Amino acid sequence: MKIKLLPVYLTIAVMALLQSCSKEDDTYSDKQTNIALTLVNPEDLSGVSFSDLSISFKELNTGKVTQSTSFVNNKLTITLSEGSYEIAVDGKIRYAADGSTAEASVSGYNKSVVITGQTAAVSLNLFLKTTQSDFIIEEVFFTGTKTPEGKQYWGDKYFKIYNNTDKVLYADGLMIAQSEFMTTDKQAYTPNIMAQSFAASNIAIVPGKGTTYPIAPGEFFIIAEDAINHKEYNSASIDMRTAAFEFYTEDADDVDNPAVPNMENLFSSMVIHNRGFKSFVIARLPITKDAFLANNTYDYEYNLVIGGESYPMGESVYSIPNTWIIDAVNLSVQSEFQWIVTAPTLDMGWTYCGKVDADQSRYGKSVRRKVLSSASNGKKILKDTNNSTLDFSPEVKPSLMN
């Protein structure tokens, strides 16, 4: 789609005594703060009651974790030392739905809440967690590698998609999309559709007729940028010839391995951002490709401010309804993060490779989902709380390098 010149993450509500953490005072003493925490119900729910609620407060300077389950309805009082805290809540919820009662899991998260003074009031938004019944993103190797001579090498990035369920899943028709927006650049996009849809800059689809590519429980498949033996060109890279699929663009200077099926480019060609400014989702397409292209365009506008001057901008891309999305991971850079670019119901956190922009130490590192448990048959269960900050290990060695 062409750019045209023309003439957002629902933030977790935190009240009272919040400060910027960019210049945090590391001299917090043993002073105690009495905290009144209120959990805010997910939107549009009535007749709400909670059970099995648990909360953890992790002090970011010391690493000390304080846990509690002492909720009365959706309120908790607790005394903590002054400091900067990561707060995470998990539990179950009952609510009225169509004349009956429905049950679901909920979670809430705030990466940094600064607490000082004798008392503090904090509120935390809760979001419904979807039940996992399809693939999840196990790993994203987006940084690429460097040659022994220190030059940036292209083409060896990959996605690792895992069957975290107890049934056979089919990769056929699975969509993978890269975000249009960047986690390092927050703009007031109009209209803001993030609560309903994911704006995509690239979308590719696994080929197949529906049952062509079965993936057993506990198994994975790789989508490679280029499914070749990269070690022939860079000894620090990876042999990707065993990938299940590869991205390929016919009208570009791209490498094609005819032994590996190509992903179908639904919208634009997949060019994986190697600094981690963008986010990714996988989704199921419940309509035809032609119907998607006809009915899911997204035209947005915003004002680009440079040097105090405002320039009206806009673009037309495609969006994927959140109800189609089965997993998401937000990526960013520690020093540059501004917002997540998915609805928090899909992912309320983010992960990274690189602590500063263009971090030279990021090469040869990936983000990998944590293992929650392992079954007696060797099948591992991966952590999936819809919070990439908690679910993923940042800056780790890519699994295909092991």
Contact 16, 121 (CB under 8 A): yes
pLDDT at position 374: 80
The predicted-structure confidence for 282-291, as pLDDT tens digits, reads as follows 999 999 999 9
The predicted-structure confidence for 152-206, as pLDDT tens digits, reads as follows 999 999 999 999 999 999 999 999 999 999 999 999 999 999 999 999 999 999 9
Q: According to DSSP H, which parts of 324-387 are helical?
A: none
The mean per-residue pLDDT over the stretch 80-109 comes to: 89
pLDDT at position 6: 38
Query: Exposed, middle or buried, 338 (CB in 10 Å: 0-12/13-18/19+)?
Result: middle
Query: Exposed, middle or buried, 169 (CB in 10 Å: 0-12/13-18/19+)?
Result: buried
Percent of the chain beyond pLDDT 70? 92
The mean per-residue pLDDT over the stretch 142-149 comes to: 97
pLDDT at position 99: 76
**What is the C-alpha to C-alpha distance for residues 157 and 242, in angstroms, rounded to an integer?**
14
3-state secondary structure of 320: strand
The predicted-structure confidence for 322-371, as pLDDT tens digits, reads as follows 999 999 999 999 999 999 999 999 999 999 999 999 999 999 999 999 99
User: Range with the lowest mean pLDDT among 20-34, 91-105, 360-374?
Assistant: 20-34
**Domain ranges, ordered by start, for the chain:** 8-129, 135-401
pLDDT at position 338: 96
pLDDT at position 379: 87
- The count of other CB atoms within 10 Å of the CB of residue 249 is 14
- The count of other CB atoms within 10 Å of the CB of residue 51 is 10
pLDDT at position 131: 65
Q: Which CATH number fits domain 8-129: 3.20.20.100, 3.30.530.20, 2.60.40.1120, 2.30.30.280?
A: 2.60.40.1120
Q: Which of 137, 159, 235 shows the shortest CA–CA distance to 400?
A: 159
Six-digit token pair at 310?
């405002």
Contact 28, 112 (CB under 8 A): no
The predicted-structure confidence for 57-92, as pLDDT tens digits, reads as follows 999 999 899 999 999 988 999 999 999 999 999 998
The predicted-structure confidence for 233-280, as pLDDT tens digits, reads as follows 999 999 999 999 999 998 778 999 999 999 999 999 999 999 999 999
Q: Which of 362, 282, 371, 365 shows the shortest CA–CA distance to 329?
A: 282
Q: To the nearest whole number, what is the mean pLDDT of the chain? A: 90
3-state secondary structure of 46: coil
Using a cut of 0.85, tell me whether the model's pTM lies above it. Answer: no
396 or 9, which is more confident? Answer: 396
Torsions phi, psi for 88 (to 5 deg): -135, 135
4 pLDDT band, cuts 50/70/90, is: very low
**Quick check: 19 pLDDT over 80?**
no
Q: Which of 135, 136, 156, 129 shows the shortest CA–CA distance to 145?
A: 156
3-state secondary structure of 388: helix
Respond yes or no on whether the N-terminal peptide bond of residue 261 is cis (omega within 30° of 0).
Answer: no
pLDDT at position 133: 87
Residues paired with 34 in a beta bridge: 79, 119
The mean per-residue pLDDT over the stretch 303-316 comes to: 94
Contacts of 258 (CB under 8 A, 6+ apart): none
The mean per-residue pLDDT over the stretch 131-153 comes to: 94
377 pLDDT band, cuts 50/70/90, is: confident
pLDDT at position 22: 41
